[in-house]
């Protein structure tokens, strides 16, 4: 991806977020001079994708730290904790958001410095670390995952798990990028991903920018595409993975996984270890965000459904671990049994 199109930019001591609600029609950045601007950008999906909102929230905490008027450490940390809670409440499903904020606050707690200005510098350094580590983990993930893709593979993906959804490079799309960089002839089928069309607007755009062949399909075409033997594997990202390997991802992922199982097609999940939440035993415990009904009834400001119709609009669904062929992480590819193997990998990296 062109560096001018990065989703998150920190330069000249300020935060800029690419407004992904405007893509692909226009490339516009949100100037975040207040932490509440960051919170609103996360809520309205101007910045989205589990790793990206974690990194954005970390920088949002830095922005908030700059707004705090406090001369002593205790007051500063207390006010910062309030800001962290506000940022953390923006979206409940993706665990990376809370993980990044907790990491920032723990870094501060471990710092012996009393000077508030020095504490602000420590926070910025930690946000930079989260950002850079995400890019590195995505590239490592891509290297492990590309080995699963044969030359000529036709890959179906759902939603957007690319550079736009991370600090850079991507998770699911990072695997595809890595295969492409190895010289493999990869063809991507991108589900449009209703109701907000992240596949149509973002994944298709990213693949075109990267020069990777891509075909856009509507969500209800995936099963027939598989039946026509046009899909070799499915790769998706994740917003939270529980201890038993259940996967929360964009709504519609579960249906794709069921179709892949029926057609004997490998279903891979690409996600960093920060997305794995061993505190939850299964997907039944994952909080599922429900969003504004207008996302379903309207598009581009135009009504697409009769006024007054009832709407159910969960942003995510849960794919049971039995449907997941493997989980691709920066530490390697994890296979079942997930309860044992996820604990082993995450335990080794504490």
Q: Which residues are catalytic?
A: 239
What's the CA angle centered on 62, arms 61 and 63, to 5 degrees? 90
50 appears as a binding residue in the annotation: yes
For residue 337, give the DSSP letter. Answer: -
For residue 289, give the DSSP letter. Answer: P
CB 268 within 8 A of CB 80: no
Q: What is the C-alpha to C-alpha distance for residues 55 and 45, in angstroms, rounded to an integer? A: 14
140 appears as a binding residue in the annotation: no
250 appears as a binding residue in the annotation: yes
> How deeply is 44 buried, as exposed, middle or buried, from its count of CB atoms within 10 A (0-12, 13-18, 19+)?
middle
CB 49 within 8 A of CB 165: yes
- The SS3 of residue 305 is coil
Q: What is the C-alpha to C-alpha distance for residues 92 and 43, in angstroms, rounded to an integer? A: 10
249 appears as a binding residue in the annotation: yes
Q: Which residue's entry shows tokens 């405007």?
A: 22
Query: Would you list which residues are annotated within the binding site for substrate?
Result: 48-50, 91, 198, 249-250
Query: Would you list which residues are annotated within the binding site?
Result: 48-50, 91, 198, 249-250
């Amino acid at each position: 991806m062109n560096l001018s199109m990065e989703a998150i930019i920190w330069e000249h001591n300020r935060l800029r977020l690419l407004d992904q609600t405007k893509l692909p029609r226009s490339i516009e950045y949100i100037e975040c001079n207040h932490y509440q601007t960051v919170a609103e950008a996360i809520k309205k999906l101007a910045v989205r994708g589990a790793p990206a909102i974690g990194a954005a929230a970390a920088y949002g905490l830095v922005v908030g730290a700059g707004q705090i008027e406090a001369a002593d450490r205790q007051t500063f940390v207390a006010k910062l904790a309030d800001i962290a809670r506000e940022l953390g409440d923006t979206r409940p499903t993706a665990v990376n958001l809370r993980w990044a904020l907790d990491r920032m606050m723990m870094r501060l707690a471990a710092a012996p410095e009393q000077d508030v200005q020095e504490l602000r510098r420590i926070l910025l350094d930690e946000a930079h670390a989260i950002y850079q580590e995400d890019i590195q983990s995505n590239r490592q993930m891509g290297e492990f995952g590309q080995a699963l893709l044969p030359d000529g593979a036709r890959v179906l993906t759902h939603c957007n798990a690319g550079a736009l959804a991370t600090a850079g490079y991507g998770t699911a799309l990072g695997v595809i990028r890595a295969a492409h960089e190895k010289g493999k002839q990869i063809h991507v089928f991108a589900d449009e991903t209703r109701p907000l069309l992240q596949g149509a607007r973002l994944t298709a755009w990213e693949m075109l920018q990267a020069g990777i062949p891509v075909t856009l399909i509507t969500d209800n075409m995936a099963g027939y595409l598989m039946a026509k033997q046009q899909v070799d594997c499915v790769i998706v990202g994740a917003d939270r993975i529980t201890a038993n390997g259940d996967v929360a991802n964009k709504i519609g992922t579960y249906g794709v996984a069921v179709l892949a199982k029926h057609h004997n097609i490998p279903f891979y999940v690409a996600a960093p270890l920060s997305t794995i939440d061993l505190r939850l035993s299964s997907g039944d415990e994952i909080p599922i965000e429900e969003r504004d009904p207008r996302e379903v009834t309207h598009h581009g400001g135009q009504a697409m459904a009769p006024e007054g119709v009832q709407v159910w609009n969960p942003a995510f669904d849960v794919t049971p671990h039995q449907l997941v062929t493997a989980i691709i992480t920066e530490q390697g590819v994890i296979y079942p049994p997930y309860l044992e193997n996820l604990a082993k990998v995450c335990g080794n990296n504490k």
